């Protein structure tokens, strides 16, 4: 399966939350209720302006049936760091 590229360059914290949320047909409010945070937190996460706790990252990964590394583009980040 082809890995989907993460957010555009310039984002503070790259992630696939918005893409995964839309693919699941969920609103920001529904996601916030399922992972027990405010809707504002989900909005900030999608914009890359908020660093989630490991617990929240885990809950989001479970909700979207993926792993934390994929959801937050950590594999891509680590690969880029190794190139430098």
pLDDT of 5 reads: 53
Cβ neighbours of 3 (radius 10 Å): 9
Asked whether the predicted pLDDT for residue 80 surpasses 90, the reply is: no
Minimum mean pLDDT among 13-22, 38-47, 74-83: which range? Answer: 74-83
Write the DSSP string, 56-68.
HHHHHHHHTTS-H
Rounded Cα distance, 33 and 19, in Å: 18
pLDDT of 3 reads: 47
pLDDT tens-digit profile of 63-75?
A: 999 999 999 988 7
pLDDT of 11 reads: 45
CA torsion sign, 36 to 8 to 27 to 38?
positive
Q: What is the CATH number assigned to the segment(s) 17-83?
A: 1.10.260.40
pLDDT tens-digit profile of 26-51?
A: 999 999 999 999 999 999 999 989 99
Over residues 7-12, mean pLDDT = 50
pTM for the full model?
0.78
């Amino acid at each position: 399966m082809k890995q989907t590229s993460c957010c555009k360059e310039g984002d503070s914290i790259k992630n696939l939350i918005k893409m995964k949320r839309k693919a699941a047909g969920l609103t920001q409010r529904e996601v916030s209720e399922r992972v027990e945070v405010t809707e504002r937190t989900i909005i900030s996460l999608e914009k890359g302006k908020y660093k989630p706790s490991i617990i929240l990252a885990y809950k989001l990964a479970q909700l979207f049936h993926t792993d934390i590394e994929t959801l937050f583009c950590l594999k891509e980040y680590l690969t880029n760091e190794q190139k430098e």
